[in-house]
Amino acid sequence: MGSPNATVLQQFILRPIMLIVIVLSLVYPATAIAAVKNVIVLIMDGCGDEQLTLARWYKGSPLALDAIRVGAVKTYNADSVIPDSASAGTAYAAGVRTNSGVVSLSPKTTTIPPAPAHTLKTPRQPCATVLEGARLLGKSTGVVVTCRISHATPATYMAHTPSRKMDEDITEQAVYQNIDVVMGGGKKYFRPQSAGGNRQDQEDLISVLQTHGYRVIQNRTELHKLDKGKVFGLFASNHLEAEIDRLECAPEQPSLAEMTRKAIQLLSANPAGFFLLVEGSQIDWACHAHDPAHLIGDLLMFDRAVQAALDFAQKDGQTLLLALPDHNTGGMSIGNQCSDHYYTRLQPEALIAPLKKMQLSAPTLWRRVGKDKTPEKIKDTVIRYWGIQLTEKDAQEILKKAEQYGKNAHNAFGEVICPKYTDIGWTTHGHTGGDIPLFACGPHRPVGLLDAPDIGRLTAEAMDLDLNLLSARLFVEARQAFPAQAVRLDHTDPYNPVVRISYHDRQASLPVNKNLLYWGEEVLPLEGVVVYLPETETTYLPVQAIQAIKGESKPLPPITK
């Protein structure tokens, strides 16, 4: 039996308190956090904690990221403990763990457990992205990168292809996705080969954009003049310059922070809110190349872009901001075998001193070597632009490794110089598989250790968006909606395939990678693009197209819970 004092405590104190709690819960029921108005996702491609620590030492003060660290993310994909950017981006964009090289499609195979169940059971089925969902919610959407816009990470938010290498298809889908603001490089994939571009289908996508009411700008002066409207900023034929090279090699190109601020300015004019992806694309390339100069420049500029986004988000109060790498690259360490005997005495000044002398990225350094590939020219170029006096043996080793690396000849600089003349270590020219840091602020901010697909799912949930419902609305296999014999793919022009559907003695035409339905005399813009997957010979259409062909006037399926 309990003591008399315990009985009195329960009767006269605890029970009244419990009663008050029950009454209050009935009068003021708990409510879920309201959906956010805006989402900004900032990805520092190929980064990890050591790179961030190095950037902080170099800067000499805290990073903007430091104040919003909340956890970490596991990065493995469906078939490897080490992901590539396409599979990592798909996890963030569509909430699905997929195979290496795949752009926002469900996995063909899954070999790495645990693999969270997903309602998309069909291999290689398009998976709708948070950007597509935000657009259907009436929000403005944007993508800002320092690579070409068809590169792996931005592709995963805008397109659906079995390979990240399908730049022409990815670019075309991006053009027909009705995205409000797109900034980066890759102009050559917008122009036909007949006009000096790379498009084999001979389409001029810049003309298409202009016809659809976009402004197409090509330099930072035009960027700063923008104050409203839809825009594609194509600032380079391929990728933008490394930040450390930009002012000397391409001063007309805007910085990542400038593009981020302008994108937020344009997108935030929508009362319904916006979704924005920002990527510091070349942090990854710097780490692939073991290039401290490229790394520091691009990572610190990424941090300035984070600060621009933070300034808006903290003032706005209705914005979820996520900042994180997609994976780590290079296996960078502060400390290497050279520092084995003095690491307990290594001072910040000594760590940073050789890096402060580096004035160009390794790729630009290699271009400055020019055609005179001699040890003497290597030594002269390195002392001039990196401030390091090489030996004859060092220069010969750089030339030997450069020949081995072929198109990535510049990798030889970091591989030879870093172990001997800096305290920076590297383990690989590829990616690594460790957990990566997570930074966030605002409503629905996550905390703790997350799985990579959780990023896509929580982004969707923050906007009250159901990715499974969205996929079901945007991607229906044509032969499941119509008799198989009524659907065929017209390859008359192999670079411009068209889906033909016969229905009640009429024929509908839907060009692949576009959001257009040709139905009799009508041309109906669709809310999603038509996707064709050669491997499975399947075509996917939005429900809107199916209803239009069948003459159905019922409401489109919901995409919110």
Sign of CA dihedral 204, 210, 213, 214: positive
Cα 254 to Cα 146, 194, 241, 429, distances in angstroms: 10, 29, 10, 29
d(CA 522, CA 519): 5
d(CA 168, CA 202): 11
Report the amino acid identity of residue 516.
Answer: L
Annotated active-site residue 85? The verdict is: yes
Residue with tokens 């800096």: 422
**Angle ∠(163,126,88) on CA atoms, nearest 5:** 55
**Tally of residues, the chain:** 561
Nearest Cα neighbor of 172 from 148, 128, 203 is 203
Nearest Cα neighbor of 254 from 239, 270, 271, 240 is 240
Q: Which residues make up each annotated binding site? A: 45, 151, 153, 279, 284, 288, 326-327, 431
Report the amino acid identity of residue 419.
Answer: P
Stated as kind and residue range, the H or E segment containing 516 is strand 516-519
- Asked if residue 326 lies in contact with residue 89, where contact means CB atoms within 8 angstroms, the answer is yes
Mind giving me the DSSP string for 157-223? Answer: HH--BS-TT-HHHHHHHHHTTT-SEEEEE-GGGTSBGGGTS-BTT---HHHHHHHTT-EEE-SHHHH
Catalytic, out of 61, 80, 85, 106: 85
The end-to-end CA distance of the chain, in Å, is: 50
Cα 441 to Cα 64, 143, 424, distances in angstroms: 12, 20, 31
- Asked if residue 153 lies in contact with residue 174, where contact means CB atoms within 8 angstroms, the answer is no
Q: Which residues make up each annotated binding site for Mg(2+)? A: 45, 151, 153, 279
Nearest Cα neighbor of 160 from 101, 103, 100 is 103
Sequence-separated contacts (24+) of 334-342 with Cβ below 8 Å: 334/50, 334/53, 334/54, 334/57, 334/423, 334/424, 334/425, 335/423, 335/425, 336/418, 336/419, 336/422, 336/423, 336/424, 336/425, 336/426, 337/419, 337/425, 338/419, 338/420, 338/422, 338/423, 339/423
Based on the number of CB atoms within 10 Å of its own CB, is 418 exposed (0-12), middle (13-18) or buried (19 or more)?
buried
Residue with tokens 């996929």: 471
DSSP strand pairing (424-425 vs 448-451): unpaired
Three-state secondary-structure class, residue 435: coil
- Asked if residue 86 lies in contact with residue 156, where contact means CB atoms within 8 angstroms, the answer is yes
What residues act catalytically? 85
